[in-house]
Structure 1
Amino acid sequence: MNRGKLYGVGVGPGDPELLTLKARRILLEADVVAVPDKGSGEKTALNIVRDVVEGKTLLPCPTPMVRDKALLDGCYEEIAGRICALLDEGKTVAFITLGDPTLYSTYIYVHRKVLARGYDAQLIPGVPSICAVAARLGASLCEGAERLLVVPASYEGVDDCLDFPANKAFMKAGKSLPALRDKLRERGLDGEMVANCGMAGERVYRSLEELEEGEGYFSVVLVRERRNET
């Protein structure tokens, strides 16, 4: 029996209409759809493609929201093992992931482990959240010779990034939003933000000064570098 193949499928930021034609085809052809679950029953990626994968066999892939590398590595190893068992049966597996699988996606760790075991795996790009947010705001991410710095806002080191001469996109801001707003304010800067872009409960902020308490994990902040008008 020939081995099956694994696809890491980016399903976009939240709007089902942003699912690419290729991603849709792969999902329709897959025997099994692997579904990430970070706890509390939240399966955001699945909600985006639910109509496409209706009737498919689903493989739950729980990954806790922790930063314990050993614990996470063990989870990825277990998920890779379960996927490889399906590939040994000749099944095609599509692992869905929010946005694009190459941009801060937990899927990439599973992808590497499956490849390391000698199996075939392919990445299917999706629309990144930073692009969807820029479009929702009616703004460009960068123009001409401008540079763009993409930052995971929930990690340390944000201060250094703020002083770097570039436009900035802060992803997965969530609980870090009040601190980020204050640090921007200290530098005479502000940002625009979209929470839950393309999802139910989407909210648009033209200034971080408008922020409400309790904005969640799926928040992207765009900050433009000051332009020299002279």
Structure 2
Amino acid sequence: MKKGKLYGVGVGPGDKELITLKALRVLRESDVIMVPVMRSGEKTAFGIVEEYIDGKEIVECRMPMTKDLKVLNENYEAICNKVSGYLDQGKNAAFITLGDPTVYSSYMQVNELMMKRGYETEIIPGITSFCAAAARLNMSLCERDETLTILPSSYKNVREGLHTQGTKVLMKANRAIIEVRDILREEGMIDQAVMVECCGMENEKIYKDLNELDDRTSYFSIIIVKD
């Protein structure tokens, strides 16, 4: 029996109208939809595509939010075992992920492991959260010879990264958002920063002044700092 194929499908940042035609086609043609689930039970990516995949077999995949590599690797192997079971039956599986699979997506670990196991995989790109946030703010990310730097702001060296030339995009702040706000103040950059929380979702919130931040925000928060 011919083995099935695994697709990593980017479903965009949150707005249901920002999913691509190709992503929709792949989802509708796939036999199984693999859905990432956070520890809290949140299934954000599924909420974007739910109305488009009626009748499909849905398989939940737990995705722990941790930096513990041992825990992460064990979880990725467990997910791959689950996916392999369907591909070995000749079924095609689509693993959905927010934004684009190649930008800070846990899916890429699954993709790499499945390739090592000898399975065929394909990545379906999606609109990134930072592009959607810039559009929502009606601003450019970079023009002419300007550079664009993407920083994982909950990790070390964010302060150093802020001093690169051009536009800086800070992603993955989550619990560290107040610390990031304070760093921006200390570096004299807070007046150059804007933020979109949950871009394109029902609970979207725009911050034109980051001094308004006084509490932890959603994981889906994008800060843009312009020179």
- What TM-score, normalized by structure 2, do the two folds share? 0.96
Could you tell me which amino acid in structure 1 is paired with residue 206 of structure 2? V
Cα distance in 2 for residues equivalent to 1:60 and 1:17: 23
For residues 116-158 of structure 1, what are the alpha-carbon distances to aligned partners after superposition, in whole Å with 9 as ceiling and x for unaligned? 0111000000000000000000011111111111011111111
Asked if 1:120 is matched to 2:128, the reply is no
Asked if 1:209 is matched to 2:211, the reply is yes
Gapped regions of structure 1 (runs ≥ 5): 226-230
Matches within 5 A, 1:185-200: 185-190=185-190, 191-200=193-202
Identity %: 48
Could you tell me which amino acid in structure 2 is paired with residue 90 of structure 1? G
Aligned length: 225
The alpha carbon displacement at 1:200 in A equals: 1.4
The alpha carbon displacement at 1:175 in A equals: 2.0
Out of 213, 221, 224, the residue aligned to residue 223 of structure 2 is: 221
For residues 183-208 of structure 1, what are the alpha-carbon distances to aligned partners after superposition, in whole Å with 9 as ceiling and x for unaligned? 11222212100000011110001121
Could you tell me which amino acid in structure 2 is paired with residue 34 of structure 1? M
Runs of 4+ in 1 over 4 A off after TM superposition: none
Matches within 5 A, 1:8-27: 8-27=8-27
Could you tell me which amino acid in structure 1 is paired with residue 221 of structure 2? S
Asked if 1:156 is matched to 2:156, the reply is yes
Could you tell me which amino acid in structure 1 is paired with residue 95 of structure 2? F
Q: Report SS of the residue matched to 2:22.
A: helix
Note if contact 2:146-2:166 (Cα within 8 Å) is conserved in structure 1.
yes
Cα distance in 2 for residues equivalent to 1:212 and 1:17: 32
Moved more, 198-207 or 181-190: 181-190
Note if contact 2:83-2:93 (Cα within 8 Å) is conserved in structure 1.
yes
Could you tell me which amino acid in structure 1 is paired with residue 142 of structure 2? C
The alpha carbon displacement at 1:212 in A equals: 4.3
Gapped regions of structure 2 (runs ≥ 5): none
Cα distance in 2 for residues equivalent to 1:52 and 1:46: 10
Cα distance in 1 for residues equivalent to 2:143 and 2:215: 32
Note if contact 2:176-2:216 (Cα within 8 Å) is conserved in structure 1.
no
Matches within 5 A, 1:146-185: 146-185=146-185
